[in-house]
């Protein structure tokens, strides 16, 4: 029992010092003077507002990506004790003292720093040499664009981190597969692959590209597994099942989890409420929930309601009427009924109130007990402030002459009778006897005489559907009293909880459907300009001196990365053709290594770059950074391949190594030259700035005076 | 058309593509054919009845063709008025007959053929084709419709032969032919003056000849091999010449060719020289030949259309100088711009048009309420501007003043001739492009303010140079704000008459959007020079017309209130297109696929993916399949895969397109989908029959299955034929209607 005392306690640690050194250098390069500049830099102005929303737990909607990315940034704010009080309105604005700049920028910087040792690991796991792995990591270390992007409160470095993590853990898993399937580390790396993939997707939709790549490589490997007839059917099935769970189920569950946490975190109503449906808004604290609290659930004859168009685009609106009438003759010469206008109004207003009236009775109050309105009932809708009822007739509508005009009926005594009976149809009813419910029911009004449907003229199908948003039982007989009643705010409480899945699907759908108008931006660029680094983005300019931060890559690395890619493609084509004619230049294992490295690195570049040609949104240089990292991984692979297989003699090999060292030093030199633009720490003279403008298309800011 | 029988025995050979080709081959393989027939055919024809079989084979083909022609030509003359897009393509046919120049987003071959058909059938090109519903009256329209129906009728025999070649099974081919013959959608689309039957004809011809040359692969460089290879090339040129959708079939043939070459390259028994010959043959027939033909159609197009017409404005000034009747043709105008000249200013970017203004103001809430300035593609009086000095308002045309030329770097004013307002810009945001400044017409009778001053600059010139008409590329720089006059190319909403937006852009990037040239130039005080020097060369014309077409295509964006068809609607036959008539008194034609056929197709795709992956996994796991099953699964994987690829290529790219889409875009894909259905059901039924071989009636399963599918399709056609042949009477809700009870989806409007 006490046997362990008889032997000395020995801890053997295998520390790869180069890995430690790389991590250290990565941290140094990314974290050095992290709080400088203490001002809003470029897109921080965009992400910052969402961090503030998180800190204040206010609901928001952002179409740029799933919430996980914003949450990661907000975590930094939470750790730094940020209260969310900062007005994110202008690039260059000085941060006030309550903004914990260091901790806000910490997580992206850490992600950027850790990408350096990960590049080392990936190349090693691809079974290339230690030297090649060091090369990849050192290139990552000195790439100016990656440094700039990591040091700010932006998401690309986090995305790159998870991309690399997904690739790395898949490679670890794949290498485990050969000797110890179903071992603990096998499971660990497999699961981590799935987790990293879903995190990448959760940061930005762009992560999908890497996810697809990993899935594709996994599918090919699984297909080979299927062909391995030494394995039993059960064993193969287990393998496939494990992969399906880890690479398909886990990412989906995690993705839902991000939204779940998001919706738990932001539970207060905020400025983006209006885009969501009434039911969704009612599930938020404050806002609509405060107004609709305690309002009766069932709409009865005599109820006072506001009617909101369910799919109103681009902004939601409420059925509205006011004293003004349609002009007798329109500009184009058509006539109208000259009755009271009915519109859809995107703001809350007392004129949005309507009273549901039973056509057979005269009173406008709710009887006791209330008689609920059911599907198929005939109703009249009386405008609260003017007591005129909603009417439609065979007169062309003002803007859509093919549709009927909708008005509030005014009796001019001109043999144009009122046609104000509407049949209520509840679209999402459970049965035919369903009661019209506040907020929950989506209803359609079918005109009895003409069987036309009340419609908002923009859009297509959905716009015929309305729901009741605010609702109360009317109690005042007199018009005066009623007006006063309408002006007083509705009150009071039942929180109507939507299920998580309903809220998730609505939120996800709106995020995908939301189209921000793609305006051109001064620094927007096209994908073709990225490969050769023909463009840059000015991120920040010091308010007084000419110190400035640019997103500007190390041009030596960019160009040689693209060259390496071209060499890889040409060499692969050459080898493929030769193999087809049964000439094997490479030994089998070297060939397999070459193919796998290409599939992941060149493939990673392709999936992260080529889709941008199909996108119509505004694109920026930083969209290229994930593709660039894969290109950087490919570079040492190609270099080692040339040295191992294409250099015939020792002499050639030595010359080649010397060339590589010279090339790397030039990359370091360029990196160092561009350093003032990366860190923005040094104010350069106009002359020096002009000297840095190596391409005419680079936009480097020079103060005139 | 040589018979394509082939005994390419899927069972006995691993690669059906290396099957036999042509009648001789069939004879040579006669023994195999018979053995095959014995193995497959439930009827077991007697050995030696090959002649009889050949007759039967031809008879079946004739029957299929005849039925196809009969259905397509039945009631072709009804309705005797313009239906749907006939208004465009009929009109364009007339343009060819009248030789007036027009612009369309599609390449010219289809419309040229329509025009030719009309010309040959005695149509004189005088009908206006104004709007759908207009009666043809005495004008001869049957020639054009007949031509389209003729091409459309060939789709069925082509599909029949393709499937026969891919599956080597008569029943699969028959099923495919029945699906297409009895599909109301294909029928409707083939009966009118449209590009689609022509396009589909070429697509199917390319597919057929590709499949044929694949099956000739065992006799490379033989006459039939060359024939089919070059016929593939010709059909590809035809498909691309009708619509750019033809690119998809080109892609399919390209992929097939690459796979083919890859296979040949790996065959070590072939020398590299032979492989090189194969490569050269394909380059010649599939790249050079189609390109030459495609270019030739354009040459004919430009040769035929030599008169000025409605399409002039879409093209550059130099291009227009070729067209007789255009004011630039054989024209002579003053060479250098002088003050007082009346000019039109055209944007250098293609399909943007002329700087334009009119007596309408920008609406409330959009910048300042001043007169609109737009660009407009058509020639119009409102495109005329007078060039004036910025500081004087005296009439420079007064004969007492000397002529003063405008020079590079001068500060000028542009006065709109019709409304006498000055081109003006100021710090208000432009209507569509928020980051640019608004451009308006301002001032009364030419008196405005300093915001009307523009500096005129010639690109890449020194100061002081004169400005040449047509040749000089000029920019207008607003003096006060420093921005450049340009057009964003965005279409203004209704208030701007859907003309294009003009802005003043503060970003001084040099793009064609902000470069202009002077086109018309009137100045009585100056001597005229001839413009013949400007004639562009043919490659320039070709390039320009393609740029204009591509821009036109991507400019077809859905409008604000318009309902657009989504690609996912199509395979489920969600909604059709009204070809003619709305009310119950009208003669109504509704383009809608036969739902039985379409839903069967949809089911078949799912079933195919399922059975295909089962077979593929089984083979990868090394399962030993019996010879018969192995042969059938080869047919399913290779033949079916080829067709599935076609469906994928003709369907999924539409999901990526930003332009406005219509239901009829799905029809090429639908052809492939029907072929897949034919192959799939035949193979599945055969597999079924094989699996139940111990059961006495097993043989009957295949026959009964195919027969019931054939009859079911025919019956559904009987039910739905009024959609295509036209219906009069009450709408479908009414029990009296011919379509009563057949409106299975609410989204169908008939």
Can you say how many angstroms the Cα of residue B680 is from the centroid of all Cα atoms in its chain? 29
The alpha carbon of residue B134 is apart from the nearest alpha carbon of chain A, in Å, by 21
- Closest residue in chain A to residue B262, using alpha carbons only: A580
Site of tokens 């369309």: B104
B153 pLDDT band, cuts 50/70/90, is very high
Tell me which of 2.80.10.50, 3.40.30.10, 2.60.40.420, 3.40.50.300 is the CATH number of domain B331-531: 2.80.10.50
Instruction: Give pLDDT, residue B316.
Output: 74
pLDDT tens, position by position, A643-672: 999 988 999 999 999 999 999 999 999 999
For residue B265, give the nearest of A458, A580, A614 by CB distance.
Answer: A580
CB contact (8 A) between residue A519 and residue B620? no
For the CA atoms of B238, B242, B247, B252, the dihedral, rounded to the nearest 10 degrees, stands at: -50
For B342, the enclosing helix (H) or strand (E) is strand B342-347
CB B714 within 8 A of CB B577: no
Q: In the block, which residue shows the tokens 């046609």?
A: A419
Predicted confidence at residue B278, as pLDDT, reads 94
Q: pLDDT tens across A100-144, in order?
A: 999 999 999 999 999 999 999 999 999 999 999 999 999 999 999
pLDDT in tens, A414-443: 777 888 888 888 888 777 778 888 777 888
Tell me phi and psi for residue A483, to 5 degrees: -60, -40
Please say if the pLDDT value at position A490 is more than 60. Answer: no
Q: Label the pairing between strands B500-505 and B437-442.
A: antiparallel
Beta partners for residue B388, in sequence order: B413
* Number of helices followed by number of strands (H, E) in chain A: 24, 12
Could you say which of A233, A519, A580 has the minimum Cβ distance to residue B266?
A580
Instruction: Tell me what pLDDT residue B36 has.
Output: 42
Q: Which of A70, A68, A66 is nearest to A50 (CA)?
A: A70
Of B266, B560, B620, Cβ closest to residue A226: B620
Asked if this assembly's ipTM is beyond 0.85, the reply is: no
Chain B residues close to A229, C-beta within 8 Å:
621-622
Nearest C-alpha neighbor of A383 from the set A358, A350, A416, A413: A350
Q: What is the pLDDT of residue B43?
A: 44
Average pLDDT over residues A566-594: 93
User: B563 and A460: CB-CB below 8 Å?
Assistant: yes
Contact state of B435 with A580 under an 8 Å Cβ cutoff: no
Q: Could you tell me which chain A residue has the CA closest to the CA of B434?
A: A519
Min Cα distance B585 → chain A (Å) is: 19
Residue B547 neighbours by CB distance under 10 Å: 15
pLDDT at B29 over 50: no
A213 CA: distance to closest CA in chain B (Å): 20
Query: How far is A419 from A428, CA to CA, in rounded Å?
Result: 27
- Domain segments of chain B as ranges: 60-299+576-723, 331-531
**C-alpha distance from A380 to closest chain B C-alpha (Å):** 28
Separation in Å, CA of A225 to nearest CA in chain B: 9
Determine the Cα–Cα distance for residues B527 and A268; give it in Å rounded to an integer.
76
Residues of A in contact with B658 (CB under 8 A): 616
Q: Per the omega criterion (within 30 degrees of 0), is the bond before A467 cis?
A: no
Maximum pairwise Cα distance, chain A: 113
B560 Cα to chain A: minimum distance (Å): 8
CB contact at 8 A, A52 and A86: yes
Radius of gyration of chain A (CA): 33
Higher pLDDT, A408 or A122: A122
DSSP B110-143: HHHHHHHHHHHTT--S-----STT-B-TTS--HH
Question: Which of A219, A220, A221, A226 to mutate to test binding with chain B, by most B CBs within 10 Å of its CB?
Answer: A226
Decide if pLDDT at B681 tops 90. Answer: yes
For residue A63, which of A46, A44, A85 has the smallest C-alpha distance? A46
State whether A582 and B268 contact (CB < 8 Å). Answer: yes
Residue pointed to by tokens 């079933």 = B607
Smallest CA–CA distance, residue B24 to chain A, in Å, is 33
Distances (CA, A) of B362 to A434, B354, B418, B488, B497: 49, 19, 18, 17, 11
Considering only CB atoms, B621 lies closest to which of A226, A459, A521, namely A226
Beta-carbon separation of B621 and A517 below 8 A: no
The residue of chain A nearest to residue B510, with distances taken between CA atoms, is A697
pLDDT of residue B70: 94
Count the Cβ atoms, other than its own, within 10 Å of residue A542. Answer: 17
Backbone φ and ψ for B522, nearest 5 degrees, come out as: -120, 120
Token code pair at residue B299: 């040459």
Q: Kindly list the residues of chain B whose beta carbon comes within 8 Å of any beta carbon in chain A.
A: 262, 265-266, 268, 272, 433-435, 507, 560-561, 563, 617, 620-622, 656, 658
Q: Which residues of B touch A521 (CB under 8 A)?
A: 435
Nearest CA in chain A to B508: A522
Q: Which chain B residue shows the shortest CA-CA distance from A611?
A: B656
Percent of chain B with pLDDT over 90: 37
Round to whole Å and give the CA distance between A105 and A574: 46
- Higher per-residue confidence, A64 vs B687: B687
Among B3-12, B393-402, B684-693, whose mean pLDDT is lowest? Answer: B3-12
**Contact flag B265-A229 (C-beta cutoff 8 Å):** no
- Among A219, A220, A224, A227, the residue to mutate for chain B (most B Cβ within 10 A): A227
* Minimal Cβ distance to A226: which of B266, B434, B617: B617
Chain A: residues touching B (Cβ < 8 Å)? 223, 226-227, 229, 233, 236, 400, 457-460, 517, 519-522, 577, 580-582, 614, 616
Q: Mean pLDDT for chain B? A: 84
* CA gap B659, B552 in Å, rounded: 10
What pLDDT does residue A595 have? 95
Cβ within 8 Å, pair B656-A229: no
Residue B157, CA atoms < 13 Å, CB-side half-sphere: 23
Predicted pLDDT at B25 = 39
pLDDT the model gives residue B20 = 43
Q: Which residues pair with B681 in a beta bridge?
A: none
Residue among A332, A519, A579, A612 with most chain B CBs within 10 A, to mutate: A519
Q: Pairing mode, if any, of strands B500-505 and B422-429?
A: unpaired
Least confident of A384-398, B453-467, B690-704: B453-467
Q: What is the pLDDT of residues A273-332, one digit of tens each?
A: 777 777 787 777 776 666 666 677 788 888 888 888 876 555 677 888 888 888 888 877
* B177-222 tens-digit pLDDT: 999 999 999 999 999 999 999 999 999 999 999 999 999 888 889 9
Virtual torsion, Cα A232, A234, A239, A243, nearest 10 deg: 150
Distance from CA of B436 to the nearest CA of A (A): 10
A517–B265 C-beta distance less than 8 A? no
Residue B426 phi, psi dihedral angles, 5° rounding:
-160, 175
Q: What does the pLDDT read at residue B446? A: 73
- B621/A223 CB distance under 8 A: no
**In degrees to the nearest 10, what's the CA dihedral of A41, A45, A47, A51?**
110
SS3 A15: coil
Closest CA of chain A from B145, distance in Å: 32
Residue B248 in this model has a pLDDT that exceeds 90: yes
CB-CB under 8 Å, A522 with B507: yes
The stretch A63-88 carries a mean pLDDT of 90
Q: Are B239 and B202 in contact (CB under 8 A)?
A: yes
At B539-553, the pLDDT tens digits run 888 888 888 888 777
Chosen for mutation from A222, A516, A520 (greatest number of chain B CBs closer than 10 Å) is: A520
pLDDT of residue B234: 95
Q: What b-and-e string marks burial along B407-442, b requiring 16 or more CB atoms within 10 Å of the CB?
A: bbebebbbbbbebebbbbbbeeebbbbeebbbbbbb
pLDDT score of B147: 94
**Rounded to a whole number, what is the distance in Å from the CA of B243 to chain A's nearest CA?**
21
pLDDT of amino acid A91: 86
| B149-162: average pLDDT | 95
Tens of pLDDT, residue by residue over A596-611, are 999 999 999 999 999 9
- The minimal CB distance from B622 to the residues A229, A457, A520 is found for A229
Residue of A580, A582, A616 for testing the chain B interface, max B β-carbons within 10 Å: A580
Specify the pLDDT at position B13.
36
- Give the CA angle between residues B236, B237, B240 to the nearest 5°: 85
Q: A519 and B434: CB-CB below 8 Å?
A: yes
Supply the pLDDT for residue A151. Answer: 93
- What value does the mean pLDDT take over residues A1-30? 84
- A223-269 pLDDT, tens per residue? 999 988 888 999 999 999 999 999 999 999 999 999 999 999 988 88
Give B561's contacts in chain A (Cβ within 8 Å).
400, 457-459
Nearest CA in chain B to A463: B561
Q: What is the mean pLDDT of residues A631-638?
A: 95
Q: What is the predicted pLDDT for the residue at B559?
A: 56
Does pTM surpass 0.95? no
Alpha-carbon gap, residue A466 to A317, rounded angstroms:
10
Does residue A406 carry a pLDDT above 70? yes
CA distances from A51 to A85, A104, A158, A204, B38 (A): 10, 9, 16, 16, 76
Exposure string of A585-607, with b = 16+ CB inside 10 Å and e = fewer, is ebeeeeeebbebbbebbbbbbeb
Contact B434 A517 (CB under 8 A): yes
Residue A172 has pLDDT above 90, yes or no: yes
Note the pLDDT of residue A705. 58
Instruction: Provide the pLDDT for residue B156.
Output: 95
**Nearest-CA distance from B333 to chain A in Å?**
39
Write out pLDDT tens, residues A512-549.
877 655 556 778 888 998 998 988 898 998 888 888 99
Note the pLDDT of residue A485. Answer: 67
A64 pLDDT higher than 70: yes
pLDDT at B263: 92
Percent of chain A at pLDDT exceeding 90: 44
Question: How far is it, in rounded angstroms, from Cα B338 to Cα B372?
Answer: 26
CA distances from B459 to A591, B472, B477, B511, B527 (A): 55, 8, 12, 11, 25
Cα dihedral: B699, B700, B703, B707 (round 10):
-170
Residue of A nearest to B430 (CA): A519
DSSP A329-378: B-TTS-B----EEEEEESS--GGGEEEEE-TT----S--SS--B-BTT-E
């Amino acid at each position: 029992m006490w046997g362990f005392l008889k032997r000395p306690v020995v801890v053997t640690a295998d520390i790869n010092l180069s890995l430690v050194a790389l991590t250290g250098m990565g941290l140094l390069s990314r974290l050095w003077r992290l709080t400088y500049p203490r001002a809003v830099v470029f897109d921080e102005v965009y992400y910052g507002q969402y961090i503030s929303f998180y800190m204040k737990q206010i609901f928001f909607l952002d179409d740029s990506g799933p919430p996980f990315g914003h949450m990661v940034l907000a975590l930094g704010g939470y750790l730094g004790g940020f209260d969310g009080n900062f007005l994110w309105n202008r690039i260059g604005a000085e941060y006030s003292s309550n903004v914990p700049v260091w901790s806000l920028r910490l997580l992206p910087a850490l992600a950027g720093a850790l990408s350096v040792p990960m590049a080392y690991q990936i190349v090693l796991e691809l079974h290339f040499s230690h030297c090649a792995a060091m090369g990849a990591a050192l290139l990552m270390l000195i790439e100016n664009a990656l440094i700039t992007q990591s040091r700010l409160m932006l998401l690309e470095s986090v995305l790159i981190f998870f991309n690399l993590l997904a690739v790395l853990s898949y490679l670890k898993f794949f290498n485990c597969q050969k000797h110890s399937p179903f071992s603990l580390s096998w499971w660990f790396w497999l699961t981590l692959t799935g987790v990293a993939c879903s995190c990448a997707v959760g940061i930005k939709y762009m992560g999908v590209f890497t996810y697809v790549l990993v899935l594709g490589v996994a599918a090919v490997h699984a297909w080979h597994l299927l062909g391995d007839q030494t394995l039993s059917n059960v064993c193969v099935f287990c393998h496939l099942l494990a992969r399906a769970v880890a690479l398909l189920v886990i990412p989906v569950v995690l993705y839902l989890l991000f939204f779940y946490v998001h919706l738990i975190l932001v539970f207060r109503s905020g400025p983006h409420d209006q885009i969501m449906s009434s039911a969704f808004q009612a599930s938020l604290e404050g806002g609509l929930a405060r107004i609709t609290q305690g309002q009766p659930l069932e709409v009865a004859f005599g109820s006072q309601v506001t009617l909101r168009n369910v799919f109103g685009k681009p902004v939601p609106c409420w059925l509205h009427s006011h004293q003004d009438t349609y002009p007798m003759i329109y500009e184009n010469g058509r006539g109208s009924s000259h009755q009271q206008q009915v519109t859809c109004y995107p703001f809350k207003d007392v004129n949005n109130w309507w009273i549901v009236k039973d056509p057979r009775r005269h009173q406008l109050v709710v009887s006791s007990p209330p008689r609920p309105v059911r599907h198929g009932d005939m109703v009249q809708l009386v405008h609260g402030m003017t007591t005129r009822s909603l009417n439609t007739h065979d007169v062309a509508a003002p803007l859509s002459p093919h549709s009927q005009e909708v008005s509030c009926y005014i009796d001019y005594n001109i043999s144009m009778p009122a046609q104000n009976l509407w049949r209520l149809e509840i679209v999402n009813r459970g049965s035919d006897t369903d009661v019209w419910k506040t907020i929950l029911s989506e209803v359609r009004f079918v005109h009895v005489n003409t069987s036309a449907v009340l419609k908002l003229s923009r859009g297509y199908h959905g716009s015929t559907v309305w729901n009741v948003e605010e609702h109360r039982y009317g109690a005042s007989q007199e018009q005066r009293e009623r007006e006063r009643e309408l002006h007083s705010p509705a009150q009071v409480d039942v929180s109507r909880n939507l299920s998580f899945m309903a809220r998730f699907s609505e939120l996800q759908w709106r995020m995908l459907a939301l189209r921000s108008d793609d305006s051109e931006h001064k620094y927007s660029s096209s994908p073709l300009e990225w490969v050769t680094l023909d463009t840059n983005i000015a991120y920040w300019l010091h308010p007084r001196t000419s110190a400035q931060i640019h997103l500007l890559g190390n041009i030596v690395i960019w160009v040689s990365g693209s060259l390496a890619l071209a060499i890889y493609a040409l060499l692969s084509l050459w080898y493929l053709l030769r193999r087809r004619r049964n000439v094997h230049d490479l030994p089998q294992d070297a060939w397999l290594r070459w193919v796998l490295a290409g599939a992941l690195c060149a493939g990673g570049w392709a999936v992260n770059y080529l889709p941008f040609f199909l996108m119509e949104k505004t694109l920026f240089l930083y969209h290229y950074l994930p593709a660039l990292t894969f290109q950087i991984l490919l570079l040492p692979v190609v270099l080692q391949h040339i040295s191992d297989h294409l250099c015939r003699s020792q002499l050639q090999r030595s010359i080649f190594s010397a060339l590589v060292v010279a090339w790397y030093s030039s990359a370091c030199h360029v990196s160092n030259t561009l350093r003032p633009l990366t860190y923005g720490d040094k104010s350069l003279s106009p002359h020096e700035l002009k000297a840095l403008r190596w391409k005419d298309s680079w936009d480097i800011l020079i103060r005139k005076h | 058309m040589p018979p394509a029988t082939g005994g390419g025995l899927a069972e006995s050979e691993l690669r059906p593509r290396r099957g036999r080709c042509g009648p001789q081959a069939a004879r040579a393989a006669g023994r195999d054919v018979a053995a095959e027939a014995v193995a497959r055919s439930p009827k077991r024809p007697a050995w030696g009845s090959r002649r009889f079989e050949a007759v039967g084979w031809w008879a079946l083909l004739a029957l299929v063709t005849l039925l196809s022609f009969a259905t397509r030509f039945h009631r072709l003359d009804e309705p005797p008025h313009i239906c749907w897009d006939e208004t465009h393509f009929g009109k364009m046919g007339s343009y060819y007959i009248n030789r007036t120049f027009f612009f369309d987003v599609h390449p010219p071959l289809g419309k040229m053929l329509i025009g030719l058909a009309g010309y040959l059938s005695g149509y004189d090109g005088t009908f206006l084709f104004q709007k759908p519903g207009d009666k043809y009256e005495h004008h001869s329209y049957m020639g054009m419709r007949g031509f389209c129906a003729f091409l459309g009728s060939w789709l069925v025999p082509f599909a029949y032969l393709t499937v026969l070649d891919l599956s080597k099974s008569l029943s699969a081919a028959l099923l495919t032919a029945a699906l297409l013959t009895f599909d109301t959608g294909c029928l409707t689309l083939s009966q009118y003056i449209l590009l689609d039957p022509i396009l589909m004809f070429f697509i199917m011809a390319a597919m057929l000849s590709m499949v044929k040359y694949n099956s000739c692969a065992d006799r490379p460089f033989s006459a039939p091999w060359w024939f089919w290879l070059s016929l593939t090339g010709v059909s590809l040129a035809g498909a691309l010449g009708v619509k750019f959708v033809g690119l998809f079939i080109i892609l399919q043939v390209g992929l097939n060719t690459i796979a083919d070459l890859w296979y040949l390259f790996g065959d070590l028994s072939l020398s590299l020289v032979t492989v090189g010959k194969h490569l050269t043959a394909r380059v010649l027939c599939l790249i050079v030949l189609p390109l030459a033909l495609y270019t030739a159609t354009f040459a004919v197009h430009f040769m035929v259309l030599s008169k000025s017409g409605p399409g002039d404005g879409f093209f550059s000034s130099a291009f227009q100088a070729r067209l007789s009747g255009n004011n630039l043709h054989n024209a002579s105008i003053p060479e250098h711009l002088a003050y007082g000249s009346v000019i039109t200013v055209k944007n250098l970017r293609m399909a943007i048009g002329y700087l334009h203004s009119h007596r309408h103001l920008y609406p409330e809430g959009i910048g300042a309420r001043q007169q609109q300035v737009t660009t407009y593609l058509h020639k119009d009086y409102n495109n005329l501007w007078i060039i004036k000095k910025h500081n004087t308002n005296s009439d420079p045309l007064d004969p007492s003043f000397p002529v003063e030329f405008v020079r590079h770097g001068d500060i000028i004013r542009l006065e709109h001739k019709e409304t006498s307002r000055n081109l003006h810009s100021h710090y208000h945001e432009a209507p569509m492009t928020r980051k640019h400044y608004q451009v308006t017409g301002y001032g009364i009778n030419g008196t405005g303010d300093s915001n009307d001053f523009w500096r005129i600059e010639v690109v890449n010139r020194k100061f002081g140079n004169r400005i040449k008409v047509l040749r000089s590329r000029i920019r207008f720089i607003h003096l006060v704000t420093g921005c450049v006059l340009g057009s964003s190319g965005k279409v203004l909403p209704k208030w701007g008459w859907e003309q294009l937006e003009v802005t003043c852009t503060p970003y001084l990037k040099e793009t064609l959007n902000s470069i202009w040239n002077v086109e018309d130039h009137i100045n009585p005080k100056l001597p005229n020079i001839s413009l013949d020097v400007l004639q562009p060369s043919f490659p320039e014309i070709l390039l320009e017309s393609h740029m204009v077409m591509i821009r036109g295509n991507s400019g077809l964006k859905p409008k604000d209130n318009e309902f657009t068809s989504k690609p996912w609607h199509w395979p489920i036959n969600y909604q059709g297109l009204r070809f003619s008539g709305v009310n119950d008194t009208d003669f109504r034609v509704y383009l809608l696929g036969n739902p039985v056929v379409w839903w069967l197709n949809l089911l078949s795709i799912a079933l195919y993916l399922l059975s295909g992956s089962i077979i593929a996994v089984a083979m990868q796991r090394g399962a030993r399949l019996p010879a018969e099953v192995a042969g059938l699964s080869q047919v399913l994987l290779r033949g079916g895969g080829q067709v599935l690829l076609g469906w994928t290529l003709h369907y999924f790219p539409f999901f990526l397109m930003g332009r406005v889409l219509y239901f009829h875009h799905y029809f090429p894909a639908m052809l492939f989908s029907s072929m897949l259905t034919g192959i799939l059901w035949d193979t599945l039924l055969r597999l079924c029959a094989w699996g139940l071989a111990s059961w006495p009636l097993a043989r009957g399963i295949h026959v009964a299955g195919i027969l019931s599918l054939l009859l079911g399709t025919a019956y559904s056609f009987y039910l739905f034929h009024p959609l295509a042949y036209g219906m009069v009477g009450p709408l479908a809700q009414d029990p009296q209607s011919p379509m009563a009870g057949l409106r299975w989806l609410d989204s169908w409007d008939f």
